Amino acid sequence: MKINRGHSFETSVEAIRKTAGQNIFTTGHLVFGLPGERREEMLAEAEIISALPLDSIKLHQLQILKDTAMATDYLENPSSFSLFSLNDYIDFITSFLERLNPDIIIERLSGEVPPRYLISSPWERLRADQVLKKLKKTWQY
């Protein structure tokens, strides 16, 4: 399924390299849980991202917004989506971070959309800072 980003991964890599090559602070952005993604594939992205000249990264779980093409796809075929539960996401993101280059600054670990824009109300409407607190409680230093 397409997410209408308007560019390929290869185009993104080229832009990241060119930007970093000009000594510009460079940030990446990953959304986890797109239809068809498997956990192993998402975890393998940590190695790919770690090899890029990124200064920072923003990470978050897939959230399905009302009145979007993805919302239509979700409503028509919800079994093709595997949305993270809060506990599953915390387990996943912990594993992802353990694989990520420690020199990359983490700007965001989860996304937060006002519930009125979402098809469902995942994670008991926890805000991003509350998700971070839960993650810190489970993190093994």
Total number of domains in the chain = 1
Give residue 125's pLDDT.
72
- Please check whether residue 4 lies inside any domain of the structure: no
Domain interval for residue 85: 9-138
- Please check whether residue 3 lies inside any domain of the structure: no
Place 1 in a pLDDT band, splitting at 50, 70 and 90: very low
* CA distances (Å), origin 46, targets 26, 37, 57, 67, 133: 16, 14, 11, 31, 22
- Please check whether residue 86 lies inside any domain of the structure: yes
Q: pTM above the 0.75 mark?
A: yes
Those residues whose C-beta lies under 8 Å from the C-beta of residue 98, and which sit 6 or more positions away, are none
pLDDT in tens, 59-113: 999 999 999 999 999 999 888 888 898 889 999 999 999 999 999 999 999 988 8
Segment 43-65 shows an average pLDDT of 95
Which of the given ranges, 7-16, 45-54, 74-83, 85-94, has the highest pLDDT on average? 45-54
- Please check whether residue 1 lies inside any domain of the structure: no
Check whether 51 has a pLDDT greater than 90.
yes
CB 96 within 8 A of CB 106: no
- Please check whether residue 40 lies inside any domain of the structure: yes
